[in-house]
Amino acid sequence: MKCDALKAEMTAWRHDFHRHPELGFQEERTAGIVAGLLKSFGLEVHAGIGGTGVVGVLRRGNGEGSIAFRADMDALPLGETGECDHKSTYDGVMHACGHDGHTSMLLGAAKYLAEAGDFNGRAIFIFQPNEENGFGAKAMIDEGLFNRFSADSIFAMHNIPGMEAGHFATRIGAMTASEALFEITITASGGHAAMPHMGVDAILVGAELVTALQSIVARKLDPAQHGVVSVTEFITDGRRNVLPGTARLKGDARALTPETNAAIETHMRQIANGIATAHDVSISVAYDTVFPAIHNHGDAVAAAVHAARSSASTPAVNADCDPKLFSEDFAHMSNVAPGCFMLIGNGKSGANARPLHATDYDFNDEILVPGASYIATLIEEMLDGDRKVQS
């Protein structure tokens, strides 16, 4: 594979990032190392885009084509419980999603292409902050990312546990779900626990609402239109013998299309209004779509699948995988330029198969070379004059 010779360097970078994880918009050390490495490779480097974002640009020949690839840099506010040699040295912060590996693979591809790349055009390497909270991509875009570095198409990749190491998977159309955060506030009259008939118990109203919200997916959506509604917090002002007068329900909704997301919000408001009327209380609903769904572009998927198959020693690529109900803020970027979000298997055993965001999760160093080789091959094929994504 193209990046075999870079395995030791990529592994060293990855372990260093893992030992020194940084939360969203705090990736000062990480961004500084990324920018320094890109400069040492000979790339044109732009730092401080969207806070701590970094962009590297590599030009070859006189081609007008421009291809962008994004990696995320941020970690999570979790204490690491694994015992790897490169365990986080920062209390309460760790790379539990493999962004340390994503950054290292993109750096490896950039170095390979700078030294031996055979392409004609412009390759753009985007190192994004704060993916986990869904703010980083939008911050970079708002600060002129695509005005300054226009791209014909854009790509990203995420490691995924439970899939054979180094295997690839993607699909045309809906790839990942939107994520909406909701907060429902119940304002009732409360009362004494011994005299519930003299007031209105916000817990009772909230419990009815929690149960009723599950009917949105079970009975109000077409089963083919995937959706998830989860209440994740139930907060009240009740005490030992005091029925609460207020309650707040917080949660998370997922959908693969804007239409399904809108339907979930509509039904949620209808249910809340109905229960408010039934109990003579006030219920307000705040619904904020933080991540849109990723919709993979057909030509971009075709190019990505071809590159994955031609770059791998064992070309195992699923070009029509099931859509995923997790969310990714790469969606903001692929809404600007046609794109493809690719998955790469992290492995099916041990720490490599632990769930993303588990406190003992670790990126599999054995997929650094396949991942970087895929990126390098994709850029070379897309910018060879024969293979070009049609907008």
pTM of the model: 0.92
Q: Which residue pairs from 194-203 have beta carbons closer than 8 angstroms and sit at least 24 positions apart in sequence?
A: 194/241, 196/243, 199/243, 199/245, 200/245, 200/279, 200/280, 200/281, 201/243, 201/244, 202/236, 202/237, 202/238, 202/243, 202/244, 202/245, 202/246, 202/247, 202/281, 203/236, 203/238, 203/243, 203/244, 203/247
Ordered by start, the domain boundaries in the chain are: 4-175+294-382, 178-291
Q: What is the pLDDT of residues 35-60, one digit of tens each?
A: 999 999 999 999 999 999 999 999 99
Lowest pLDDT segment from 3-17, 206-220, 377-391? 377-391
Average pLDDT value for the chain: 95
Q: What is the pLDDT of residues 77-117, one digit of tens each?
A: 999 999 999 999 999 999 999 999 999 999 999 999 999 99
Q: Which CATH code fits 4-175+294-382?
A: 3.40.630.10
**CA-closest candidate to residue 66, choices 336, 371, 351, 372:** 336
Q: What is the pLDDT of residues 246-256, one digit of tens each?
A: 999 999 999 99
* Fold of domain 178-291: Alpha-Beta Plaits (3.30.70)
Query: How high is the pLDDT of residue 390?
Result: 44
Q: Calculate mean pLDDT across residues 223-230.
A: 91
Residue 385 binned pLDDT confidence (cut-offs 50, 70, 90): low
